[in-house]
């Protein structure tokens, strides 16, 4: 089931010996651009047509009335409501703790105040249609709330009946989402980026999605801000040895693979016997899964069993892959974690499956995929804020730095830049008080 990669005895670096995900290869860029163009030019009517074409439903009014959200919360199963509340409180507290503060620095009578300003309007994409992800509502809306965003907009695909899952509606109500629209796919990204007759454009778009959604976000970047990195199909690397039960390693590989096609699941180990036992356990677990077909497709196309000489080489492999999720289920896991440079989220020990991070640990489960953990991290409050600098200069401060400004401006051939300093120097020479 898993494709075997044997790096025992291989020379470092391992990068050239590992399959690499090319985020641009095979992406439906031309088709995505055509859909985005239709939405930009056609507005609501184009979105309706595309929704009928791709989701198989005709929807007259995309927006879900606010009272429907509150009714969904009131009618929600009490056990699920309690679980969502637990997750909500933990996630919100974590992100409120990460919220940036204003920062002031004074040098030579020049004061610079760095002020984190939230965007006014954030658009969140929540995958759906045949599945339901209320957790992703929490994991995207709550960082935005903690950042101070005033208007939070959610787009999620309608199901085959043209409806939105009750748990998603309830989670949106719990998180204070102001607008929810039954729009999915590329057309949702286009509607949020460009706006339509019934939806105002947003400032930032966040949230995971399939290759089409991820490509659409790349295409509209610059028109709007795109939060975090390439949040595409799910990935996991499990570094394990005999200290972890084989059934635990196996089910943790399956838990990400069950998201469906396009993802990747790696077992990295230095124990060949253990590797075979985990692979056998995977087969048993998949045979019981209600999502057997989706899981099998992911493991067949993107499942890998990587054998290395020891823990240090396992770390080399992980840093080369730069996975979305990394589970260290081996001896000295915490020590190994200190050597990890590239991963979206790291889970240490046998009691920390990635599912804890998916739902209740606190950080967002919207994480970088396709190797983008080399330069990006999880969705945070920073994705919904920008820094504004307020600069105050006194006469003493101007006298201190003015000559340096003139010198640099003249070196760059920018006459007016230098003249702005000379003009103020003239004030002092002529006794003019501004």
Residues with catalytic roles: 324-325
Contact 290, 201 (CB under 8 A): no
Q: Which of 159, 181, 145 is nearest to 69 (CA)?
A: 181
Residues 6+ apart with CB under 8 A from 380: 95, 98, 143, 228, 363, 364
Quote the CA–CA distance of 377 and 374 in Å, as a whole number: 8
Neighbours of 21 (CB within 10 A): 18
Angle, in degrees to the nearest 10, between helices 272-288 and 292-302: 150
Phi then psi for 363, rounded to 5 degrees? -65, 155
Phi then psi for 369, rounded to 5 degrees? -120, 180
Q: How many contiguous H segments (helices) and E segments (strands) does the chain have? A: 15, 14
- Sign for the pseudo-dihedral over CA of 216, 62, 120, 40: positive
Quote the CA–CA distance of 3 and 77 in Å, as a whole number: 42
Contact 32, 186 (CB under 8 A): yes
- Sign for the pseudo-dihedral over CA of 340, 276, 235, 302: positive
Quote the CA–CA distance of 52 and 47 in Å, as a whole number: 9
Quote the CA–CA distance of 148 and 120 in Å, as a whole number: 9
Q: Which of 192, 127, 180, 112 is nearest to 157 (CA)?
A: 127
């Amino acid at each position: 089931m898993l494709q075997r990669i044997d790096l025992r005895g291989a020379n470092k670096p391992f990068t050239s010996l590992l399959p690499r995900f090319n985020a641009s290869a095979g992406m439906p860029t031309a088709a995505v651009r055509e859909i985005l163009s239709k939405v930009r030019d056609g507005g609501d009517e184009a979105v309706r047509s595309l929704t009928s074409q791709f989701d198989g439903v005709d929807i007259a009014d995309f927006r879900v009335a606010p009272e429907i959200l509150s009714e969904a919360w009131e009618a929600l199963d009490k056990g699920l409501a309690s679980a969502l509340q637990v997750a909500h409180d933990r996630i919100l507290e974590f992100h409120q703790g990460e919220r940036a503060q204003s920062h002031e620095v004074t040098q030579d009578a020049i004061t610079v105040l760095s002020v984190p300003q939230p965007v006014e309007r954030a658009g969140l994409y929540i995958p759906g249609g045949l599945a339901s992800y209320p957790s992703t509502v929490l994991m995207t809306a709550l960082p935005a709330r903690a950042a101070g965003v005033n208007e939070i907009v959610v787009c999620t695909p309608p199901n085959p009946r043209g409806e939105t899952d009750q748990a998603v509606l309830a989670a949106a109500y719990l998180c204070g989402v102001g607008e929810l629209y039954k729009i999915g796919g590329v057309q949702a990204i286009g509607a949020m980026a460009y706006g339509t007759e019934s939806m105002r454009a947003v400032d930032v778009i966040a949230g995971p999605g399939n290759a089409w959604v991820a490509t659409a976000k790349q295409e509209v970047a610059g028109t709007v801000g795109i939060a975090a990195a390439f949040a595409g199909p799910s990935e996991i690397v499990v570094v394990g040895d005999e200290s972890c039960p084989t059934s635990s390693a196996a089910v943790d590989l399956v838990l990400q693979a069950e998201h469906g096609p396009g993802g990747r699941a790696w077992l990295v180990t230095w124990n060949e016997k253990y590797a075979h036992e985990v692979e056998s356990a995977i087969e048993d677990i998949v045979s019981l899964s209600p999502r057997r077909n989706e899981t099998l497709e992911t493991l067949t196309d993107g499942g890998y069993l990587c054998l290395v000489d020891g823990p240090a080489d396992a770390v080399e492999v992980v840093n080369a892959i730069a996975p979305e999720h990394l589970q260290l289920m081996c001896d000295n896991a915490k020590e190994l974690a200190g050597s990890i440079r590239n991963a979206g989220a790291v889970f240490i020990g046998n009691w920390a499956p990635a599912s804890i991070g998916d739902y209740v640990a606190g950080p967002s489960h919207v994480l970088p995929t396709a190797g983008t953990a080399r330069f990006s991290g999880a969705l945070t409050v920073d994705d919904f804020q920008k820094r504004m600098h307020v600069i105050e200069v006194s006469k003493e401060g101007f006298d201190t730095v003015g000559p340096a400004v003139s010198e640099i401006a003249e070196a760059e051939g920018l006459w007016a830049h230098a003249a702005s300093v000379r003009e103020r120097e003239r004030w002092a020479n002529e006794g003019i008080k501004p």
